[in-house]
Amino acid sequence: MGGTTIRWLLRAVETAVRLPTFARTGQFGDGREAAVRDRVLARIPAGDPDAVLAAMDDFARHSSMLVNVGDEKGLILDAAVSRTRPKVVLELGTYCGYSAVRMARALPRNARLVSVEFCADNARVARAIIAHAGLADRVSVVVGTIGDGGETVQRLVDEHQFTPGTVDFIFIDHAKQAYLPDLKTILEAGWLHPGTVVVADNVRIPGAPAYLAYMRGENGRSWRTVEHRTHVEYQSLFADLVLESEYLGAPA
């Protein structure tokens, strides 16, 4: 077995081991998030989001694992954004800003993306990367969590004008056990409308079984879901699942 294959297998194992840890802690805390920020700011010309994404992908593949949605699953996200053409996007789980950059670069000038991140350190890294990509005018990063008893939900209402029927697209990629409770909180707030699209990453690994069961149970009733079979970010050994769900409205 060659050295390249061994390194690839070690990185695949690292991915499988670290993803569940990330679901609990929100970051690895070993400096890799700051390191990718510093590399982007030092080596990539400002205002080039495609180059920023390429640099982050290269860092994750060859330097230190990052739990971005990644380049393979990123194409699924790209296609969903392109089909939906959203004016208001909500992201749950900013991490280093990769998916925010990925989505925001495809949005029209009058569109906006609000990303909720519970780790303040990650939020600072993400803001720097988003600004360097030239997208700070359409992306806001809010430190908080939908499940904090209403504080963050109220901030989204007060500071970002999240009112009934305003959210066109949601990308969910934060704590996996929060996928379904947070979606239900958003539904209760009334922010969605028929045609709103919700994309959820890592539904198989680390796994969001309650969310998967809910979407399967509601398929054809309040949601129409496509299950995209893909791989865990930055390798091809471990299978993953991305759900793309269109809201049909509350069942009669």
Other C-beta atoms lying within 10 Å of the C-beta of residue 85? 12
DSSP letter at 133? T
> 165-182: per-residue pLDDT in tens?
999 999 999 999 999 999
pLDDT given for residue 26 in this prediction: 46
d(CA 39, CA 129): 10
Tell how strand 223-231 and strand 239-247 pair up: antiparallel
CATH 3.40.50.80 fits domain 3-247 = no
**How many C-beta atoms surround the C-beta of residue 233 within 10 A?**
26
Please give the pLDDT value at position 20.
45
Indicate which residues carry an active-site annotation.
173, 176, 201-202, 233
Q: Residue 24's beta-bridge partner residues?
A: none
Residue 132: predicted pLDDT: 98
Please give the full DSSP string across 84-132, using - where no structure is assigned: H--SEEEEE--TTSHHHHHHHTTS-TT-EEEEEES-HHHHHHHHHHHHH
pLDDT value for 6: 40
Residue 29: per-residue pLDDT: 64
Q: Rg (Cα) of the chain, in Å, rounded?
A: 17
61 CB burial (10 A radius; 0-12, 13-18, 19+)? middle
Pairing of strands 169-172, 88-92: parallel
Distance (Å, rounded) from C-alpha 26 to C-alpha 125? 13
The structural domains of the chain, with segments of one domain joined by +, span 3-247
DSSP element (H, E) containing 225: strand 223-231
7 confidence band (pLDDT: 50, 70, 90)? very low
CA pair distance 90, 84, nearest whole angstrom? 13
* 8 A C-beta contact, residue 244 and residue 17: no
Fill in the amino acid letter for 252: A
- Rounded percentage of the chain residues whose pLDDT exceeds 90: 86
